[in-house]
Amino acid sequence: MNEIKNGKGNCLCGSVQVNVSKVKKNVGACHCSMCRKWGGGPLLAVDCGTDVSFEGNENITVYNSSEWAERGFCSKCGSHLFYRLKETNQYIMSVGLFGDEEQFFLDHQIFIDEKPHFYSFAEETLNMTGAEVFAKYAPKSD
């Protein structure tokens, strides 16, 4: 099975609790300049779909990072919580929130064309450029 049912996680300080109906086990690394600026390196995240709830909502700050997405973080400890696609309400969440890292595996990297030279991953993964990501996932205009 490639997903975890009823995933639970939390931020570093525990002020925000995350509950998701399913978490995909495949981890993606995003190398876009916004993710790297946000966290100092690639965002390592998992797809949690749309059935996501939080406890401690008063501790979540949301930043409207683009026309199509927003980023949420804990206002107390600064933990990165999510990247949410506005149109579909899909949550891509920081894999570190969920603990038990042995369940997860790195299988794809996006915005590989923006990855700086000073790091690389040993795993063989699907690699997509920014143009390929937008061609596959961006909302289609009528």
Report pLDDT for 142.
56
* Exposure of 119 in the CB half-sphere (CA atoms within 13 A): 12
Instruction: Check if the beta carbon of residue 82 is closer than 8 Å to that of residue 94.
Output: yes
pTM recorded for the entire structure: 0.90
Q: Tell me which of 115 and 137 has the higher pLDDT.
A: 115
Residue type, 63: Y
User: Looking at the domain 3-137, which fold is it?
Assistant: 2.170.150
Report pLDDT for 101.
81
Please name which of 7, 97, 11, 8 lies closest in space to residue 59, comparing C-alpha atoms: 11
Which residues touch 110 (CB under 8 Å, ≥6 apart)?
28, 29, 30, 31, 32, 128, 130, 133
Residue type, 10: N
Report pLDDT for 141.
62
Portion of the chain with pLDDT greater than 70, in percent: 96
